[in-house]
Amino acid sequence: MTELKNDRYLRALLRQPVDITPVWMMRQAGRYLPEYKAVRAQAGDFMSLCKNAELASEVTLQPLRRYDLDAAILFSDILTVPDAMGLGLYFETGEGPRFSRPITCKADVDNLPVPDPEQELGYVMNAVRAIRSDLNGKVPLIGFSGSPWTLATYMVEGGGTKTFTRIKKMMYAEPQTLHALLDKLARSVVLYLNAQIHAGAQAVMIFDTWGGVLTGRDYQQFSLYYMHKIVDGLLRENEGKRVPVTLFTKGGGQWLEAMAQTGCDALGLDWSVDIADARRRVGDKVALQGNMDPSMLYAPPARIEEEVATILAGFGQGEGHVFNLGHGIHQDVPPEHAGAFVDAVHRLSAEYHR
């Protein structure tokens, strides 16, 4: 494999010295870029784009041509695993993802297969291999999956939700059914992420988008427990290099200490967390990724730069910070504001690494 020209993202995740703070953006390949919209139109729809390795690689690399980013992230979706389990994923215009066969009972869970990542999810591995080849060592490639709790939420609700009534009804009325589903998902995610690593992903991230809707006790039992199982099952070395793993629970700032105990290398922070407080709480146990409010990118560049300076100062001197947004970039953000953000991180962070 080609030697990495820029490895500061991987070094920061492992809390090793870097010259400047690395930066990338969640959803950096997306609808805020006109060139992305052109390729998506060419593909026909979102899943067709995900399943075309050449086009998935093209949109993954688009933001790297515009901005001096320190990592690429696989262009895919968190719902690929439940789709491969046969739930019938489709996208409703203006409504987001939907499943035609949601999980309603224990029999549904029992009938779910554990997908073979090189078969049912082979298109994802083809995309990983294509992107690694096309990157040619420019920056590392991040692979990812949704967390079992987040995937189960979509599978039981049948799509997105604001109330979480079906999944919480299952959690409280039929906890064993939900545990069986989460266990099957955890096994599937381990296979899926390890296959991404074998295919060329140099770091992986687990997105727990809906962990923050749980009580602290339920978070430990129904979300963190299964993410811990995944961390325990992951390949942590490939191509002679450490493969760092990052956990991100949106709305999970109150549980950072417990998350840091899983053996992960880094924690993602949303914008509701004060990064100075987060660093005090986890010490040098893990690196931190985050955590500017994505809506800040609507502000003028001078205000964006001011916010970057505040977050860098909050983290302070030393290693273990990957700068990012607290969640995905919004689709109507001006592309030049994203550029101002990336440039500000690099320009202002050197003083913290002397």
Catalytic annotation, residues: 27, 31, 40, 77, 154
Angle between helices 165-173 and 175-199 (to 10 degrees): 120
Contacts of 251 (CB under 8 A, 6+ apart): 211, 212, 213, 270, 272
Domain ranges, residue 201: 8-353
Report which secondary-structure segment, H or E, holds 263: none
Q: Identify whether 172 is part of a domain.
A: yes
What is the pLDDT, as a whole number, of residue 1?
64
Report which secondary-structure segment, H or E, holds 352: none
Q: What CATH number is given to the structural domain containing 161?
A: 3.20.20.210
Q: Identify whether 22 is part of a domain.
A: yes
User: Can you list the positions of beta strands (E) in 55-120?
Assistant: 72-73, 89-92, 96-99
Return the exposure string of 75-95: e unless at least 16 CB atoms fall within 10 Å of the residue's CB, then b.
bbbbbbbbbbbebebeeeeee
Q: Identify whether 1 is part of a domain.
A: no
Q: Which residues are annotated as a binding site for substrate?
A: 27-31, 77, 154, 209, 327
State the pairing for strand pair 89-92/245-249. Answer: unpaired
Q: Identify whether 2 is part of a domain.
A: no
Q: Identify whether 77 is part of a domain.
A: yes
Q: How many domains does the chain have?
A: 1
What is the pLDDT, as a whole number, of residue 241?
96
Contacts of 206 (CB under 8 A, 6+ apart): 144, 145, 146, 147, 189, 193, 227, 230, 245, 246, 247, 248
End-to-end Cα, the chain, rounded Å: 31
State the pairing for strand pair 241-242/237-238. Answer: antiparallel
Q: Identify whether 3 is part of a domain.
A: no
Three-state SS letters, 145-184: EECHHHHHHHHHHCECCCCCHHHHHHHHHCHHHHHHHHHH
DSSP 246: E
Please state the pTM of the whole predicted model. Answer: 0.97
d(Cα 227, Cα 220) in Å, to the nearest integer?
Answer: 10
Rg (alpha carbons) of the chain, rounded to whole number: 19
What tens-digit pLDDT sequence spans the chain (354 residues)? 678 999 999 999 999 999 999 999 999 999 999 999 999 999 999 999 999 999 999 999 999 999 999 999 999 999 999 999 999 998 877 778 999 999 999 999 999 999 999 999 999 999 999 999 999 999 999 999 999 999 999 999 999 999 999 999 999 999 999 999 999 999 999 999 999 999 999 999 999 999 999 999 999 999 999 999 999 999 999 999 999 999 999 999 999 999 999 999 999 999 999 999 999 999 999 999 999 999 999 999 999 999 999 999 999 999 999 999 999 999 999 999 999 999 999 999 999 998
Residue 276 structure tokens: 């100075």
Q: Identify whether 220 is part of a domain.
A: yes
Q: Identify whether 63 is part of a domain.
A: yes
